[in-house]
Amino acid sequence: NTLWDLAIAEVEKRENPDDGVKQGEVWEKSILFMGNKNGGKTTIILRCLEREEAPKPTLALEYTFGRRARRHNTPKDIAHFWELGGGTSLLELIRIPITTHNIRSFAVVLVLDLSKPNELWTTMENLLQVTRNHVNKILTKLEKTNPEVAAELKQRMRNNLQRDHPDYELVDPFPIPLVIIGSKYDIFHEFDSEMKKIISKTLRFVSHYYGASLVFTGKSEALLLKARVLINHLAFGYDKSKSVSVDPSKPLFIPAGLDSLSQIGPPPASDSDIGKVRANTPLELWRKVFEQTFPPKSSCGLQDTKDPAQDTQYAEYEIDVMRAQKNQELEQYKRNASKSWKEMDFDSN
């Protein structure tokens, strides 16, 4: 190889740190989709896989996959798509798809329903916090068993920002690649302009702070295509898009590392109001300012989540009869156990 060939290879390696796959070798990537209940996750996955089937409600944690060839006459790469249903009610299932074995090739897509701003921050915070805690546990384990891989993962997320970027030391990158999708833009577009500005600005800050890409999408194919560009980069190594759209009156599209705190500006509140807010971190400050306009709904929690087993669309006679019988046995056991405890004579000695 000439010096020029080596230079080109080095630049490509830096720009595509994930692409360590040799010529003709198949790579596998995994993506976990999570977000608001009924937020459009399934629709986005189907569009990415170019499937025309109608989306169905996700019961708990569902899996599908896609295959694509990066070049002509090359083996098809595989992308594993996991989808977490139920909004924030099934957080414990996050640990199933993300493991020590696939952490190097894993990414997360967080789908936030723009039409429900009062649920937006709570959903985002709960899902990302649980995911981050689980990934950090894996990294802690890797630091003992495979420190080179752990160091590589931590550095890779820092690579979204150039070292000379003014925000390099001010952000806190998510430990694995993250894309934030604002769905249902068609409804969001009808919001008051000031509300749209607050939501857009807040999501820009959160995405930049976590080193994530941000895109707004809706029913139109043009908007879905923008989301597909970011997801296909994660799933199949397609080229990154360098285009940026930050106008709050239009759908946002900001690939990771192409925004800045100076362009985003301060939280959407007056200086006097910001001065009254007590916060320990920039993220907490933005949350409190955002929730002044969009107070979180308590209904976002677990208590309003319907039991999928009671949903008529999943009815199966034999299983339901057996379940009813087991429920009766459980109730009988509870009554007998309660009676037994009451009859026990505890020795105070």
Identify the top-confidence range among 301-305, 311-315, 341-345.
311-315
Report the alpha-carbon angle 214-164-238, nearest 5. Answer: 40
Cβ neighbors of 163 (< 8 A, separation 6 or more) are none
pLDDT score, position 10:
61
Positive or negative, the CA dihedral 58, 53, 181, 296 is negative
Q: Is residue 128 part of a domain?
A: yes
Residue type, 290: F
Q: What is the pTM of this model?
A: 0.77
Our measurement of the distance from residue 240's CA atom to the centroid of its chain's CA atoms, rounded to an integer in Å, reads: 19
Give the number of domains in the chain. 1
Q: Is residue 304 part of a domain?
A: no
pLDDT score, position 89:
82
pLDDT tens for 197-256 read 999 999 999 999 999 999 999 988 888 888 888 998 888 878 778 889 999 889 999 999
Q: Is residue 18 part of a domain?
A: no
Q: Which band of pLDDT confidence, cut at 50, 70 and 90, is reported for residue 59?
A: confident
User: What percentage of the chain exceeds 70 in pLDDT?
Assistant: 81
Q: Is residue 336 part of a domain?
A: no
Q: Is residue 63 part of a domain?
A: yes
pLDDT tens for 3-26 read 666 666 666 555 554 445 555 456
227 contacts 215 by C-beta, under 8 angstroms? yes
64 contacts 56 by C-beta, under 8 angstroms? no
Domain housing 163: 26-293
Angle subtended by helix axes 193-209 and 117-145, to nearest 10: 0
Closest CA to 58 of 79, 87, 29: 87
Cβ neighbors of 56 (< 8 A, separation 6 or more) are 42
Q: Is residue 14 part of a domain?
A: no
Q: Is residue 179 part of a domain?
A: yes
CATH number at residue 45: 3.40.50.300
- The phi and psi torsions of 316 (rounded to 5 degrees) equal -140, 120
Length of the chain: 349
